[in-house]
Structure 1
Amino acid sequence: MTLPLEHLRVLDLTQAMAGPFCTMILGDMGADVVKIEPPSGEVSRRAMGFKGKGDDTAAFIAINRNKRSLTLDLKSEEGRELFYALAREADVICENFRPGVTSRLGIDPDTIHGINPRLVYASISGFGQTGPHSQRAGFDLIAQGMAGVMSITGEPGGDPVKSGIPLSDLGAGLYCAFGVLSAVMVAERTGRGQAIDTSLFEAALSLGIWETAELWTTGRVPQPTGSAHRLTAPYQAYRTSDGYLTVGGNNHKLWVSFCEAIGRHDFIEDERFATNEDRMANRQELEHEVEAVLQKRTTEEWMEVMGEHGVPAGPIYNYAEVFEDPHTIERGMLEQYEHPVEGTVNTLGLPLKLSETPGAIRRHAPLVGEHTAEVLREVGVDDERLAALRQSEVV
């Protein structure tokens, strides 16, 4: 099977979440991702999350599939020379060190482009390579706070709440993958690579589409709205007799259909709810009136009713329930592979489906240095030199 990115060799110097997510996406689409780790292994192998049968955490295993692992001491001269040899044959380097670290190691974009001018060099950091905050340590939580995300998440009047998923990390990883592919296309046309600079802060900030629209149009500082939309109603979660139902009645046609579904035709002409602007101005009253009706039946019963009336609606699942839904399985979002230590491992499937050249899960998350010999032989390191490198702890 042909994979869309199988022609790309990626040197992966990333760790934790944002960078490994980027390189996993590239690997899922077929890129040969060589994860270059310090001799002790990447930090998230030991420091983050639950452990199964082996030493690696579930967090590491979840985000490092489709990669080969090479251990390399980049602080040693011989380690750097080996890295340069790898860079000569590579198409992409991804790193998420704090700005300045790659210069101190001698593997910065200028140095690498002197070795391989066509290489794409991608950097993810907390706040970017420039600017007054560039040297600050960056974590998802910090970026969410400074990008405004925590100020609009949660219930009105409540304490600041972070997004349940690390959207700063994951957003930066997605942007970086998009940047890599964009720059690779340019390199294939021109023969020249370039540096990519993205950050957790900018990823989180760039996702604030509705919030910045509200700020710049009205002058109001956006506030948290719970599950409700800040621009349209009804568009939120409502209580039922046994849980919650999410409803999207965010245009006039859907609003009328929703009123018909819940048997409240009078809402259509009610001056409090006649237009979207009216519903937004009286959203709390609308919520009270709607829930008084919805709490008379179960979520499942209302799902059937909403379906009959063409109203977008859904239950709120916990993660165990997500994987009990046959749609999740039918869409291939639960896959399994065999790991040499953990045995059969569940993993999230690929959310991107290509009709002719789909991605694939081809490799388990690697053990520390599992592919060191294999990768170094590809750049001409023989067994005698490999033994010497191991003896000197360069690899």
Structure 2
Amino acid sequence: MNTEATSGYGPLSHLKVLDLTQFLSGPYATQLLGDMGADVVKIEAPDGDMTRRLPPHFVGTQSAYYLSVNRNKKSLTVDMKTAAGLALVRKLAQVSDVVVENFRPGILEKLGISYEDIKAVRPGLVWCSISGFGQAGPYKNRPAYDMIVQAMSGGMSITGPTEGPSVRSGIPLGDIAAGMYGVIGILAALADRDRSGKGKHVDISMLDCQVAMLSYQAAYYLNSGNVPERQGRGHDSIPTYRTFTCGDAADIVVTANTERMWSSLCDVLSCAELSTDSRFADNKRRYINREALWRILEDAFLTKSAQEWVDLMLAAEVPAAVVNTLDRSLTDPQVIHRNMVLELAGPNGEKLRVAGNPIKFANEDEVNHRYPPLLGGDSLSVLSDWLGMNAGDVNELRCDSAFGPNGR
């Protein structure tokens, strides 16, 4: 586990990123950039990103929610409602390579800062806006959160028990996907800047991202007119791509997707008659007769424990896995080997454990990860490094209330 608290190298270590985001989608995007070495400065209101205080789980005085998406950043508190604070953010944007914000469209313009204004001074700037519905369209001014776009995209309508209510994904796909697509857009804009010298305004809509992720479900509907239904325990095309409950009451996932895998599954289950049953001769017929097939398979899987079945199927090269709870997945030897659980040392000796960065570069060490910043804890160093300010300059900003009433 990585316990270092330093940074300074990585493929994006030459980039300055100004982070004007809060909650999840934007902070997730900027954390990914920081994980790859970018110098990320998080601008926070004087009372901080509200997720710092979000219950119920805390490490010390900081919410685990905040800590999970803000490593590898520095914090600078700025009151953008003051003239001095707004001017300071504008100066920082003018020396940035990337600005990321997740305000509703028009909010920053009302405060007095916009991509068009900064671009006039910094034509190579890449500005990424993440919002619920993007910078254009009839819904652009609506507020949105993860569950809103999961619902509006149709994704929730195909998630959950077939006879039950629509169910939100257990992970915040609306936020996480927007953050990931935001990073893809930023990196594409930076690549184009290398050729043209010009930046871009990357416009990310959380709803767009969820619609894009519908993938083949969207294609099914758009080309057939048939509205997909809730998926329940399995897949709407492959009947042997499904969860089953085993004799120890634990669930497993079986993904016998090919004819070879189907034959091997029949052998593992000691159900050779299944492979010769005309009702199940190929995937099309297995799909037509799936209810009968599931009854047979459900009874068979009740005869052994989940791990016993998984071991047998893997030995026969049938992909299978136990449905893990998080206490098992986050201690799994494969997860640990890939450094997907990080341990970071805090400023007061506290230890923070979080999910790691899945982007690995062969034969290269990962960036050494920095503990999420204390509120306003990097003000002097940021203003010195980015703007060449000294202590006197910073004190003048403090007197002008640029950092808010607490003067951080």
TM bin, normalised by shorter chain, reads over 0.9
1:149-179 Cα deviation digits (max 9, x unpaired): 1100001121110111010100000000010
Establish whether residue 390 from structure 1 lines up as the match of residue 391 from structure 2.
Answer: no
Cα drift, residue 44 of structure 1: 1.0
Cα drift, residue 52 of structure 1: 2.6
1:356-389 Cα deviation digits (max 9, x unpaired): 4454242110000011111112203221231232
Q: Does structure 2 conserve the Cα–Cα contact (< 8 Å) formed by 1:210 and 1:231?
A: no
Q: Distance in 2 between matches of 1:342 and 1:35?
A: 23
Q: Which of 51, 59, 69 is residue 75 of structure 2 equivalent to? A: 69
Q: Does structure 1 conserve the Cα–Cα contact (< 8 Å) formed by 2:264 and 2:316?
A: yes
Cα drift, residue 89 of structure 1: 1.6
1:327 alignment partner AA = Q
With over 3 angstroms needed to count, the CA separation of the structure-2 counterparts of 1:342 and 1:177, relative to structure 1, is: farther
Residue number in structure 2 paired with 1:315? 322
Superposed, 1:359-378 pairs within 5 Å as: 359-378=366-385
Cα drift, residue 325 of structure 1: 1.9
Residue number in structure 2 paired with 1:109? 115
Cα drift, residue 214 of structure 1: 2.0
Q: Does structure 1 conserve the Cα–Cα contact (< 8 Å) formed by 2:83 and 2:402?
A: no
1:176 alignment partner AA = G
Q: Distance in 2 between matches of 1:17 and 1:282?
A: 44
Establish whether residue 335 from structure 1 lines up as the match of residue 342 from structure 2.
Answer: yes
Residue number in structure 1 paired with 2:219? 213
Establish whether residue 96 from structure 1 lines up as the match of residue 102 from structure 2.
Answer: yes
Residue number in structure 1 paired with 2:276? 269
Residue number in structure 2 paired with 1:146? 152
With over 3 angstroms needed to count, the CA separation of the structure-2 counterparts of 1:281 and 1:253, relative to structure 1, is: same
Superposed, 1:81-230 pairs within 5 Å as: 81-230=87-236
Q: Does structure 2 conserve the Cα–Cα contact (< 8 Å) formed by 1:248 and 1:311?
A: yes
Q: Distance in 1 between matches of 2:33 and 2:364?
A: 14
The number of residue pairs the alignment matches comes to 394
Cα drift, residue 4 of structure 1: 0.6
1:274 alignment partner AA = A
2:216 alignment partner AA = W
Structure-1-length-normalised TM-score: 0.96
Moved more, 270-279 or 356-365: 356-365
Cα drift, residue 110 of structure 1: 0.5
Query: In structure 2, the residue corresponding to 1:121 is in which secondary structure?
Result: strand
Q: Does structure 2 conserve the Cα–Cα contact (< 8 Å) formed by 1:249 and 1:311?
A: yes
Cα drift, residue 144 of structure 1: 0.3
1:318 alignment partner AA = T
Cα drift, residue 227 of structure 1: 2.6
With over 3 angstroms needed to count, the CA separation of the structure-2 counterparts of 1:353 and 1:212, relative to structure 1, is: same
Residue number in structure 1 paired with 2:27? 20
Query: In structure 2, the residue corresponding to 1:272 is in which secondary structure?
Result: helix
Moved more, 256-265 or 208-217: 208-217
Moved more, 305-314 or 376-385: 376-385
1:89-132 Cα deviation digits (max 9, x unpaired): 21000000001011112221111101211000000001111101
Establish whether residue 248 from structure 1 lines up as the match of residue 251 from structure 2.
Answer: no
Q: Which of 24, 28, 44 is residue 51 of structure 2 equivalent to? A: 44
Moved more, 254-263 or 355-364: 355-364
Establish whether residue 10 from structure 1 lines up as the match of residue 6 from structure 2.
Answer: no
Cα drift, residue 213 of structure 1: 2.4
Q: Distance in 1 between matches of 2:196 and 2:119?
A: 14
Q: Does structure 2 conserve the Cα–Cα contact (< 8 Å) formed by 1:84 and 1:115?
A: no
Residue number in structure 1 paired with 2:85? 79
Cα drift, residue 26 of structure 1: 0.4
Q: What is the identity percentage for the equivalent residue pairs of Structure 1 and Structure 2? A: 37
2:270 alignment partner AA = G
Moved more, 253-262 or 313-322: 253-262
1:25-51 Cα deviation digits (max 9, x unpaired): 000000000001111111211235422
Cα drift, residue 269 of structure 1: 2.4
Q: Which runs of 5+ in 1 are unaligned?
A: none
Query: In structure 1, the residue corresponding to 2:321 is in which secondary structure?
Result: strand
Structure-2-length-normalised TM-score: 0.93
1:387 alignment partner AA = N
